[in-house]
Each structure stands twice: as C-alpha cells, then as structure tokens.
Structure 1
Amino acid sequence: MASHQKRGFGGTLIRAFEQEARRRHMRHFWFDARKTAARFYQRLGFEGYGDEFQKNDRAYIRMQKIL
C-alpha cells in the first residue's frame, strides 16, 4: 500500500463515497480508522470521537462525518 500513498487515490475514493452517500440521502457515516491514519481523514473533514481502542494489536479511533 505504501506505493499508493500520497498520490491522491484515498482522497478520490473517499470523495466518491461521500457523493454516493449523499445521493442515497445518508446524513452521517462513521468507521474505525487506524490511529496513524486519523490526520488523513481529518484533512477530508472527518473528526475522531470516542476513546482510542485496540484491534489486532493496533490503535484505532472511530471517525465520523456529518454530510
């Protein structure tokens, strides 16, 4: 995956997902993100909420966005 980072693919994918979510009249969505990726999602308008937690020995945070 490192070869695909910093090339805009993730942001493009998230924006397409948001567009489809709006088309389906969704107003809110959330997901669990690796703590190390939280800044990436924050730059796209997501915010972290709740406490950090562990999955598979990695730190995660729940991210959300109101559409």
Structure 2
Amino acid sequence: MTAVNYPAIQCDGSGDGGKDGCYAETHHPMARTVTDVRRLRRDLGWRQRPAGRDICPDCWKAGHR
C-alpha cells in the first residue's frame, strides 16, 4: 500500500458559523502547496475570505460567506 500526501482545501462556508461544514474539498494534481490549490481552483468558483476561510462554489451561491 502506498500513501500519498497532497495539499487540499476544505470549505468553511457552512451556514451555522462553521460548526458543521459542507465537507466539500478540492485539490489539484499539479499543486505543491495550499496556495497553489487556491490559485488553480479560483476559476472553478472557489473563493477565499479574510482570515483564510475557503468557500466552495455551492456555499458561495447560497450566501454562506
């Protein structure tokens, strides 16, 4: 068995103040850092708020900012 570590971002856009997130996450095979993931996934609708909160496209559209 082989284990691989890769950078990923998880959605922090739950409507209840972050207690129960939506559990969406994304990564990119060419990313080496979380910053790379954020940059590469921006065109798919992922957003970053102040204080480093990452918001998935579904939560952004639902107004969970």
TM normalised by structure 1 equals 0.30
Q: Which has the higher helix share?
A: 1
Structure having the larger proportion of residues in strand: 1
